[in-house]
Amino acid sequence: MCTTCGCETDDVHDHHHRDHDDHHHDQVPAVRTLRIERDLLAKNERLAAVNRHSFAARGIAVFNLIGSPGAGKTALLESIIRRVRTHVPLAVLEGDQATDRDAQRIEGAGCRVRQINTGAGCHLDAAMIEAGVRALAPPRSSIVFVENVGNLVCPALFDLGELAKIVVMSVTEGEDKPIKYPHVFRASRLMVLTKTDLLPHVPFDADRCVAFAREVNPEIEVIRLTALRGEGVDEVCGWLRAEAARVWPSRRAAGIASP
């Protein structure tokens, strides 16, 4: 979280579909700011632990997608939804500071969605996810995707009780993002490198980017993808199947791999 702005989240709006950018930083004494940060994170971690136990007990696989604005998170979700919606119950919690434009896209792809607008807040937290999942009431052996607010910093620090974090970055962002924003890459199980169809047109060394990511997190898995062409999407679905098998009956987990 931002240690200067406090990531104020009182102004949260939750919209049901059929279903850091800029902060004004006040000067706050450093000791007070650190105490607030510690207390907020501790409270969130307690709620996240409750979420994780509840989701696992109900057989709900929750995946937290984190990435910069424009990285391709929504396009990736649209591609996944269109492939597996007839095989696996899906729902999406869509996080943005304002508007429901991405939620409309998710609904258009054929998925239940609930928009969470954070106002000045730059991340979703465990309490928002608990309320959103409760409202969506997903059935057993389902997937809930959380598309977090576009930001590589604060969302990485807030555990939501998810099964796994997935960091999404595009080839237009710069190959050094993993070492400039290491926490999100360290916290994620999967990196999806999007818009790879643009590689001939941008000065981006994909192998170097992957090497940076594995310098930060040697265990991170990497999938290269272009959602518009569909390349790599089946590989992401296979990864999701393997992760979901940790909380689903095996016969259900097999369904996500179906075309």
Q: Print pLDDT tens along the chain (259 aa).
A: 454 345 555 556 666 665 544 444 555 555 555 565 677 789 999 999 999 999 999 999 999 999 999 999 999 999 999 999 999 999 999 999 999 999 999 999 999 999 999 999 999 999 999 999 999 999 999 999 999 999 999 999 999 999 999 999 999 999 999 999 999 999 999 999 999 999 999 999 999 999 999 999 999 999 999 998 999 999 999 999 999 999 986 645 555 654 3
CA distances from 184 to 64, 74, 151, 155 (A): 11, 18, 10, 8
By residue range, what is the domain housing residue 222? 25-257
Whether residue 5 lies inside any domain: the answer is: no
The rounded distance, in Å, linking the Cα atoms of 192 and 79 is 13
Side-chain half-sphere CA neighbours of 3 within 13 A: 8
How many separate domains does the chain show? Answer: 1
Whether residue 133 lies inside any domain: the answer is: yes
Amino acid at site 144? V
Asked whether 19 and 131 are in contact (CB, 8 A), the reply is no
Whether residue 18 lies inside any domain: the answer is: no
Whether residue 62 lies inside any domain: the answer is: yes
Residue 81 belongs to domain with CATH number: 3.40.50.300
Q: Which two tokens stand for residue 71?
A: 């990285």
CA 256 to chain centre: 19
The rounded distance, in Å, linking the Cα atoms of 79 and 240 is 13
Work out the burial of residue 26: count CB atoms within 10 Å of its CB; fewer than 13 is exposed, 13-18 middle, 19 or more buried: exposed
The pLDDT score that the predictor gives to residue 31 is 56
3-state secondary structure of 153: coil
Whether residue 55 lies inside any domain: the answer is: yes
**What does pTM read for this prediction?**
0.86
- Catalogue the E-assigned strands of 10-135: 13-16, 60-67, 90-96, 112-117
The pLDDT score that the predictor gives to residue 7 is 56
| Helix or strand (DSSP H, E) at 142 | strand 142-147
Whether residue 207 lies inside any domain: the answer is: yes
CA 124 to chain centre: 10
The pLDDT score that the predictor gives to residue 21 is 44
Whether residue 132 lies inside any domain: the answer is: yes
Whether residue 7 lies inside any domain: the answer is: no
